[in-house]
Amino acid sequence: MTTAAPATGSRDLPHPERGEIRLEAVLHALSDPMRLQVVRELAADGDELSCSDIVLPVTKSTTTHHFRVLRESGVIRQVYRGTAKMNGLRRDDLGDLFPGLLDSVLAAAAGQARRLGSG
């Protein structure tokens, strides 16, 4: 029996299943200022953003690395749509596993940015 490949099938990127997501990996993913900025932008947008929508003050390869850490920890889902790699927060999975955690991190990041005058 064969199944029809989904449109994005041939270039699917590896993601942890919900049950494979670990708190330590999520906290590590969120512990970097660039990755935290990505997560804040995705949360503010509320939908998917392409990698090129999110401009970080680092090289392209470093940016790719940060998105990969976020994906492999289970914080974001990355899917190819045409030539664009689109990114979205895994809010449902994180909210189910770790209720309130993502929102408290986002609020903490916003509060710190206000205090430090950095956005």
H or E element at residue 27: helix 23-30
Query: From residue 112, how far is each of 5, 38, 84, 99, 108 by CA, in Å?
Result: 45, 16, 32, 22, 6
What SS3 state is found at 66?
A: helix
Q: Which of residues 3-32 bind its own copies (CB under 8 A)?
A: 19, 22-25, 27-28, 30-32
Interatomic CA distance for residues 77 and 22, integer angstroms: 15
Choice between 84 and 95, CB closer to its own copies: 95
43 binds its own copies (CB under 8 A): no
Output 54 or 75, the one with its CB closest to its own copies.
75
Contact between 42 and its own copies by CB under 8 A: the answer reads: no
Q: How far is the CB of 40 from its own copies (least distance, A)?
A: 11
Q: In what order do the strands lie in the sheet with 76-81?
A: 49-50, 84-89, 76-81
Among 43, 80, 91, 98, binds its own copies (CB under 8 A): 98
Q: Binding residues for its own copies, per CB under 8 A? A: 19, 22-25, 27-28, 30-33, 36, 97-101, 104-105, 107-109, 111-112, 115
